[in-house]
Structure 1
Amino acid sequence: MTVVSATPDTDNLTLTIVTEFTADPERVWRLWSDPRRLERWWGPPAWPATFTALDLRPGGRAAYYMTGPGGEKAGGWWEFVTVDGPHALSFDDGFARDDGTPDPAMPVTRAEVDITGAASGSRMTIRSRFADTEQMRRLVDMGMLEGMSEALGQIDAILAED
């Protein structure tokens, strides 16, 4: 299992998920920089993602949708704040309407990703930052922790193909 820990911290308004892989940081980085790899793990198995845009640079954007078991679609967007491959990136992460535009009724979080070398190969830490307690509670109640853990659990199989 790739997930080492998953820690919600209401005092600091963060959800931190730590994963370890038997691959070097450059290979783990490709999970973020290659949209075809990204869509194979972003989203839990029952809600696979399709990326329609990925402009991985500060100020660049990504657009995607996840397709549920009944064919329903849930859109999302990212706007990259920092990109320092193969070590780190951060982005604002939000929900999208059917036309792909940001949904102002839904929360936006800041995701911070750090990829470092480790004895096993690599350690990747994803920290989601929330604006307030209500936003954090809303997203955790929607299944964010379970969904992220399931999504990250798909990465070992992708890395094994390299």
Structure 2
Amino acid sequence: MTDMTIDPDHDLSLQRVIRASPSDVWRAWTEPARLEKWWIPAPMVTRVDRLDVTPGGGFVTRMSENGGEFVPHTDSVFLVVEDGRRLVFTNAVTSAWRPADPEPVAMTAEIILGDHPEGTDYRVVVRHGTPAARAHHQELGFFDGWGSVTAALAELVEKEASA
């Protein structure tokens, strides 16, 4: 497991128990067809262009309001991949390994899946370079956005686990 030290001036985080196994949650993060079902808050639609879940691999998604025209959403790289337990990616570097000027805010996101008696201890830590960037991300709706996609992730994997 990783050091979960959170710097309240730079980091935003959330935690939730998901009533499905860590392997189910991992698959929802690492299989494009599953990721497309929850990665962007509804009613938006996600398209996964690249999901190379290896250190240095690209993570590229697009979004659409109606499933028609898709526009860029995520263009990032995975920094750390610990199979079934931990993903770390950043949008500060593009999938082409070029320095990015990410909109709306540069971040490094860490997803940690732990065992829990009811399923998965799901944790997200999103790190920012400055307190101002953290505050901006929070003002843009971090908790609503990441909270709603985490709820959609939980709904997907919990439904699959109970089927």
**Is TM-score (shorter-chain normalized) higher than 0.5?**
yes
Letter in 1 for 2:32: P
Tell me which residue corresponds to 1:161.
160
Tell me which residue corresponds to 2:109.
111
> Which residue, 135, 138, 148 being the options, matches 2:136?
138
TM-score, normalised to structure 2's length? 0.81
SS at match of 2:41: coil
* Root mean square deviation of aligned Cα: 2.5
> Which residue, 129, 147, 150 being the options, matches 1:149?
147
> Which residue, 43, 48, 57 being the options, matches 2:45?
48
> Are residue 14 (structure 1) and residue 11 (structure 2) matched?
yes
For structure 1, the 5+ residue unaligned runs are: 1-7
Q: Is the 8 A contact 1:95 1:108 kept in 2?
A: no
Shift of 1:62: 1.1
Change (3 A) 1:103 1:72: farther
**For the residues of structure 2 that align with 1:115 and 1:138, how far apart are their CA atoms?**
27
Tell me which residue corresponds to 2:90.
92
TM-score, normalised to structure 1's length? 0.81
Which structure features the higher share of strand residues?
A: 1
**For the residues of structure 2 that align with 1:53 and 1:137, how far apart are their CA atoms?**
29
SS at match of 1:115: strand
Change (3 A) 1:59 1:116: same
Q: Is the 8 A contact 1:75 1:95 kept in 2?
A: no
**For the residues of structure 2 that align with 1:158 and 1:151, how far apart are their CA atoms?**
10
Tell me which residue corresponds to 2:118.
120
**For the residues of structure 1 that align with 2:41 and 2:160, how far apart are their CA atoms?**
19
Letter in 2 for 1:118: H
Change (3 A) 1:9 1:125: same
**For the residues of structure 1 that align with 2:75 and 2:92, how far apart are their CA atoms?**
5
**For the residues of structure 2 that align with 1:124 and 1:19, how far apart are their CA atoms?**
5
> Which residue, 37, 46, 58 being the options, matches 2:55?
58
Letter in 2 for 1:46: P
Question: How many residues are matched?
Answer: 150
Change (3 A) 1:141 1:154: same
